[in-house]
Amino acid sequence: MKIFHFDPPFLLNLHFQSPMARKENQTIIITDKYQMRTWARTMRSLSNTIALVPTMGFLHDGHLSLIQEAHNHSQLVVVSIYVNPSQFAPSEDLSTYPSDFDGDIRKLMDVPGGVDVVFHPHNLYDYGVESAMDCAGMPDVSCLEESGSGHETWVRVERLEKGMCGRSRPVFFRGVATVVAKLFNIVDPDVAVFGKKDYQQWRIIRRMVRDLDFSINVVGFEIVRDADGLAMSSRNVRLSPEERQKALSINRSLSKAKSAAERGELNCKRLKNLVADEIQEAGGELDYAEIVEQESLEVMEEIKSPVVILIAAWFGKVRLIDNIEINI
């Protein structure tokens, strides 16, 4: 992979050819949102289709599988790497979220088909103003508001963001929906690929796209797991060996619940108890276990249609999420 930093006259010429005619693995790194928009508009004017894979970096094989999936849907692939402050509360792990941009670039070099652009903005909320707000008495404040960026416009998917991760992380989904809407406006993709490990997030983005008439196909890609069954996550690196062994109870509990449902146990309370017992006996602290309808995310009492079991649990100071679909 050849890495170029954005130089409009030269690097746009790299893409005047069809994607198949270009040299393999030529990647542009763009850090400015206006230059990113210029590149995207130029590519679209040349009748190229664009797929976006939004990430927060510290890439693992799960992310790389999303990029490979993106190649199945478009001619050009953009990977964004941006740790979004608006989805973190001040008490959460923004400052310790793992980061290794050089390592990410090395991993992208090995992706079959390559990556056309890495969009790595420093700050998507820099409006050239200093307007720190008084957050005293505000119940749900993000790191972005506390920093005083002047940003005050939010995208909310009001019903789907309630419950589960929205209950324990009240600023999370408005921050996710807002930054994804910003990325969609900047990159203007035809397709966006998200991992279904973050199942509630994936459904929220699909609903936002539907409700706000984004002309974007939001593709959900299946969970990628390590050999031991743990769902791949950038936060896994913070688990101690002992905590990782305990965390394997998540996948075990999901598999047991799915097997029980397929054998005829359709009572959601009993299935959730099975999940909770498995995780707590292993030494994890359950945040939630819910069984919901796959599209509406409505909590179910009995399985009568396709559902998904969603779990969040703490192992030490690391919070992990996972899920499994049940199609009965």
Instruction: List pLDDT tens digits, range 266-297.
Output: 999 999 999 999 999 999 999 999 999 999 99
User: Hey, is 4 helix, strand or coil?
Assistant: strand
pLDDT reported for residue 195: 98
Name the pTM for this structure: 0.91
Q: How confident is the model at residue 260 (pLDDT cuts 50, 70, 90)?
A: very high
Write the CB contacts of 139 (distance below 8 Å, at least 6 apart in sequence).
Answer: 170
At residue 26 the predicted structure's pLDDT band, cuts being 50, 70 and 90, is: confident
> Would you say residue 317 has pLDDT above 70?
yes
Neighbours of 317 (CB within 10 A): 12
Residue-wise DSSP of 172-198 = HHHHHHHHHHHHHHHH--SEEEEETTS
- Is 63 a residue of the active site? yes
- The β-bridge relationship of strands 307-315 and 285-293 is antiparallel
Cα-atom radius of gyration of the chain, to the nearest Å?
21
* Closest residue by Cα to residue 203 from 122, 323, 112, 119: 323
Q: What are phi and psi of 8, to 5 degrees?
A: -50, -50
Query: Do 161 and 174 form a contact (C-beta atoms < 8 A)?
Result: yes
The rounded mean pLDDT for the chain is: 92
Report the DSSP pairing between strands 2-5 and 26-30.
parallel
Tell me the mean pLDDT in the region 183-210: 98
pLDDT band at residue 145 under the 50/70/90 scheme:
confident
Phi, psi of 21 (to 5 degrees): -85, -15
Q: Which residue has the higher pLDDT, 11 or 245?
A: 245
End-to-end CA distance of the chain: 45
Catalytic residue among 15, 63, 71, 151: 63
Residue 141's pLDDT band, with cuts at 50, 70 and 90, is: confident
Is there a contact between 262 and 143 (Cβ–Cβ < 8 Å)? no
Cα of 312 vs its chain's centroid, Å: 15
Q: Are 303 and 268 in contact (CB under 8 A)?
A: yes
